[in-house]
A and B are shown apart, each in its own frame.
Chain A
C-alpha cells in the first residue's frame, strides 16, 4: 500500500498520508512527538489499514468478504467473526437501520469458523473507517499521544487532545451543494462522523427496510467519544425518521447528532 510521511522537526509534528485505502484518502497529524515513536505508530497504522482493507474489501479477490460474497468459501475467520458480532450489536441498537447486508441482516447465520449468508452480500462500507479509527484511537492512547488529528476520507475525523495552539481542533463541515460550510465543531478527545449525499454521489446509502436509496440533500453529523459508534450512527441517522432518531439516540446521551437538510 502506497503511503508517505514527513516529520516537521521544528514543530515536533508528524504527518502521514495514504492516497487510497478503503476507497478513500487517509491523513494523520500527530503533534508533540519525536520522530521515532511517531514513525512506529505510522507503520503500525499502515499495516493494520492494509489488513482491514484486505479483510473487508468487497472488490479484492483476495479478501475474505469477497470470497464469501462470491460463494467461494463458507468458512469464517475469527477476525471477521468478531466484526460480524460488532455489526450484529449495532443492527440491534439502531433498530435494524444499520445493516451490512443493506437488506436483511437476519438471514446471516454464523458460528465459529462457518458462515451462511442466506444469499445476502456483506458490505462493511458503513463502518470500516469507524472501526479503523477506533483501532487508531486505542493505539494512540496506549502510546501516550496527547495531540493528534486523523482525517479518514473527510467523513471520519478523530481528534486526540487539542490543537497545539488552540483549545480544541476546530473543524468545519463543508456544504457539498454550494460554497460555504454547514457547521463548525470543536473537537477534543472525541471524533466526528459525517454522512450525506453530494451532487455527484447520491443514493449510496440504502434503507434496508424497503431497499430504497436515500437521495435527499441531507447531511448528518455525529460527534462522540467512540469513532465506530459515530460512523454507524451517522449512517443510520441518514435513514431514520425523526421518531426513529429520537428513539435510537435516547440510548446515546453523550453523543451529539445534528441533521441538516440543505
Chain B
C-alpha cells in the first residue's frame, strides 16, 4: 500500500452530511453498513492508498475509473478485459496500470489489494469466488449472481472468509435514501402499508456491435447465458430498498413477464410486472417496461400518513395543504360566516386529496436519477460506495449487511423471474433462506 497525505474528502463530507461524524447511532441503526467507513480507526488508514484492479473495462468499468480519480486513498494499478477495445480504452484512462486479458492471471498479482468486478452478471459469482480465494477484497457490480445456487455459494464463501465484499447497491450509500428510510423507520409518516416501484425506459437496451460474432458478448444483457434481464439489472436496487424500509423479506412472489415490443431475438423480458407479498400482507408492486418512458423511475414507500418517493428525495403528506378543519375555517373567514371547526382529534383524519405537495427529505440540492442511462447517474451513491470500499480495503473492516442485502435482493429478483417463467406463485424456498432474513 502506497503512502499519501491527502484525506478522503468525498467520503468524509458524505459522512459529515449524514451526521455520522458527530455521533449517529440512529443513522447506523438505519444503515449499519456505514459503520465500516466511520472514522473509528483513522490511524490505520491514514496516509495509505489501496491498490485496486478493475476486471471488466466496459462502460460501467470505465465509469468506476472516472470515480476512482477523485478517491485520494486509492489508485488503480491493474486492468483486465478479454475484449481489446474496452481494455485499450481503459488503459488510455489509466496508462500506469498493468493490463491483463485473463482475470486469473491478474489475481496472482500480489501488488493488488482489491478488485472491482464490472463484468456481465453471469461472470460475477465465479470471479468473486476466485478473487476472495486469492485473498483479494472485492467490489462487485450488482446483482450478486445469475442463479440461486451461485448466490448461496458466494454468501457461504463470504461467511467463511475475512475478505471485504461490497456489491454496488449504491442506493444504500445515497443520502436521500438513507435519510428517507430513517424518516420511514422513525414512523414520522405512520406505518408502512405498501410499496410501489417502477422503472420505465424507451430504448432497446442494445449497444452497437462491430462484428456479428460479438453480439452475445456485447449485448449480454439480452441473453440468459449472461443476464437475468430487467429484474437483476434494474429491479434489484429497488427491491433492496423496499426490504430496507421495513426490515423484512417477502415470502411470496408472483408475476408476469413478456417480450412486448423488442422482438429482436432477445431472450429476456422487456416488460415485467411482479408482486412480492410479505407475511403481514404488505406488498411490493413492481413494474418495468422499456418501450415507454413516461413514468420514469420511482421508488415509493407508501405509509399511512404519507408517501416517500426515495428516487426524488421527497415525501408527500396524506393530509397536506390543509386539514379539512383549517380549510373550512379559512373559508368561513373569507365568506364572513361562523360555524363549527372540525379540527380536533387524537390524530389527523385521512382526507382524499387531488394534489400533493412534495417536501424535501434532505436540505440542499438533490440529485435525481431519471433512470434513463444504461451506465450511471451523477451523485447516486456510486462514488460514495466505491470510496467506502477502498477505505475498507485499507482498514479490513467489512461492511455490515451489504452482502446480506445483496443476497436478499438478488434471490428475490431471480425468484421473480422464476415466478414469471413458471406462471405460478412461489414461496421463498427454504434452502435459500439465510439467518439474516426476517419473513
Contact = CB atoms under 8 A, between A and B. Distances in A.
Interface stretch (A78-86, A87-95, A131-139, A173-181): A173-181
Contacts of A50: none
Nearest to B349: A174
B123 interface: no
B224 to A, nearest CB: 44
Given A62-B22, A192-B344, A19 B317 contact: yes
A223 B186 CA distance: 31
B333 A8 contact: yes
A13 B188 contact: no
A169 B93 CA distance: 71
The residue in A24, A72, A151, A154 that gathers the most chain B C-beta atoms within 10 A of its C-beta is A154
Given A154-B347, A163-B332, A174-B345, A20 B340 contact: no
A103 interface: no
B105 interface: no
Interface in B152-201: 182, 186, 188, 190-191
Contact of B333 (A31, A61, A155, A173): A31
B323 interface: yes
Contacts of B191: 200
Q: Is the interface of A mostly helix, strand, loop or mixed?
A: strand
A166 B355 CA distance: 32
A197 B341 contact: no
B281 interface: no
Contact of A61 (B19, B336, B340, B348): B19
A176 B319 CA distance: 15
Interface in A164-188: 164-166, 169-176, 181, 184-185
Contact of B346 (A8, A29, A165, A196): A196
B348 A154 contact: yes
B61 to A, nearest CB: 36
B339 interface: yes
Interface stretch (B5-13, B23-31, B271-279): B23-31
A44 to B, nearest CB: 20
A157 B323 CA distance: 13
A15 interface: yes
Residues of B contacting A: mostly: loop
Given A29-B329, A72-B23, A200 B190 contact: yes
B339 A181 contact: no
Given A25-B317, A172-B342, A151 B325 contact: yes
Given A2-B359, A8-B333, A149-B329, A25 B323 contact: yes
Interface string B223-261: 000000000000000000000000000000000000000
A61 B25 contact: yes
B374 interface: no
Contacts of B345: 154-155, 173-176, 194, 196, 198, 219
Given A19-B357, A19-B359, 13 more contacts: A13-B330, A24-B348, A25-B348, A29-B330, A61-B25, A62-B19, A151-B325, A151-B343, A151-B344, A163-B332, A170-B339, A171-B340, A196-B346
8 contacts: A29-B326, A29-B333, A61-B25, A151-B343, A154-B323, A154-B348, A175-B345, A194-B344
Interface of B: 19, 22-27, 182, 186, 188, 190-191, 304, 317, 319-320, 322-323, 325-326, 329-330, 332-334, 336-349, 357, 359-360
